């Protein structure tokens, strides 16, 4: 593992977006920052600015109102970046599957790297999902591939 890969593993800055979640998973994400789990031990911090972030944690099934917000946030993040879908709703739509107003999961809007199951997802699972994502992030090239297109909605 070279220095850049190690640095990416050890310094994930996280942007958290609630795409219509019930707040259950969001509370679990925030509890990762508290003294019990303290993910800042691994260098992870919760940033408020997509331009500073490496990891996008999304909760909720994504509805037609906030899908463009989600895509906008994703496009503002600099490469290399990963997306972690936290919770059942974000992974597949959960109980909102096939609702007329719901997209049914984050991967219908932007590419997802890691799916974290659970309703609500446990902090331990979220941290494990984050680490899995970071292993992928570390191996990504620094420069984006030529002709790479921004995320398009998949139907």
| 42 forms part of the interface with other proteins (CB under 8 A) | yes
Toward other proteins, which CB reaches closer, 41 or 149?
Answer: 41
Spell out the alpha helix ranges (H) of the chain.
3-10, 24-31, 67-76, 88-92, 123-139
Written as six digits, the tokens of 85 are 């879908």
Residue numbers 114-133 binding other proteins by CB under 8 A: none
Q: For residue 112, which phi and psi values (nearest 5 degrees)?
A: -110, 140
| 69 forms part of the interface with other proteins (CB under 8 A) | no
Closest by CA position to 62, among listed 24, 107, 28: 107
Toward other proteins, which CB reaches closer, 143 or 149?
Answer: 143
3-state secondary structure of 1: coil
Residues with Cβ within 8 Å of 83's Cβ and at least 6 positions away in sequence, in order, are 55, 56, 58, 74, 106, 110, 111, 112, 113, 114, 133
3-state secondary structure of 27: helix
- Contact code string over 78-117 relative to other proteins, x by CB under 8 A: xxx-------------------------------------
| 40 forms part of the interface with other proteins (CB under 8 A) | yes
| 135 forms part of the interface with other proteins (CB under 8 A) | no
Q: Which of 23, 27, 38, 154 binds other proteins (CB under 8 A)?
A: 38
Q: How far is the CB of 105 from other proteins (least distance, A)?
A: 27
**Binding footprint of other proteins on the chain (CB under 8 A):** 3-4, 6-8, 10-11, 13, 33-35, 38, 40-43, 45-49, 51-52, 54, 78-80, 142-144
């Amino acid at each position: 593992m070279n220095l850049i890969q190690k640095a990416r593993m050890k310094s994930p800055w996280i942007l958290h977006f609630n795409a219509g979640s019930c707040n259950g998973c969001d509370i679990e994400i925030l509890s990762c920052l508290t003294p019990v789990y303290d993910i800042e031990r691994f260098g992870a911090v919760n940033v408020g600015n997509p331009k500073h972030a490496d990891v996008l944690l999304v909760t909720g099934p994504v509805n037609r109102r906030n899908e463009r917000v989600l895509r906008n946030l994703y496009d503002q993040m600099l490469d290399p970046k990963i997306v972690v879908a936290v919770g059942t709703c974000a992974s597949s739509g959960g109980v909102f599957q096939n609702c007329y107003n719901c997209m049914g999961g984050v991967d219908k809007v932007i590419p997802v790297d890691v799916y974290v199951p659970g309703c609500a997802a446990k902090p331990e699972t979220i941290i494990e999902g984050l680490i899995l994502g970071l292993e992928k992030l570390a191996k990504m090239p620094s420069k984006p591939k030529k002709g790479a297109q921004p995320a398009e909605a998949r139907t």
